[in-house]
Amino acid sequence: MKKTGLILFPLFLVLMTTTLALSQQNDSGIKSVMRSEGKIYVLVAVMLTILIGVFLYLFRLDRKIKKLEDAKKNKHRN
């Protein structure tokens, strides 16, 4: 889990920095249209759902790999 955190933390920082940099720009036409029609919330919800799904997948994958590594270590000890 520690290795996954070491990989995901810099990725998260880059994502947040990019988001902040892009949010500082003037409102473009598409942003104002999406805000006025309320579709921006749908977009945010979809993006959050995808990110949560990816993080859950990585978490489960890390646990499975850890179990396999532990089983391999125990097998070689015996």
Percent of the chain with pLDDT over 90: 35
Residue 46 within a domain: yes
Residue 44 lies in a domain: yes
- Does residue 15 form part of some domain? no
Residues of the domain holding 45: 36-78
Q: pTM of the predicted model, to two decimals? A: 0.53
Q: Which amino acid is at 68?
A: L
Helix axis angle for 2-23 and 39-77, nearest 10°, is 160
In a domain, 27, yes or no: no
- Number of residues that make up the chain: 78
pLDDT in tens, 37-66: 778 788 889 999 999 999 999 999 999 999
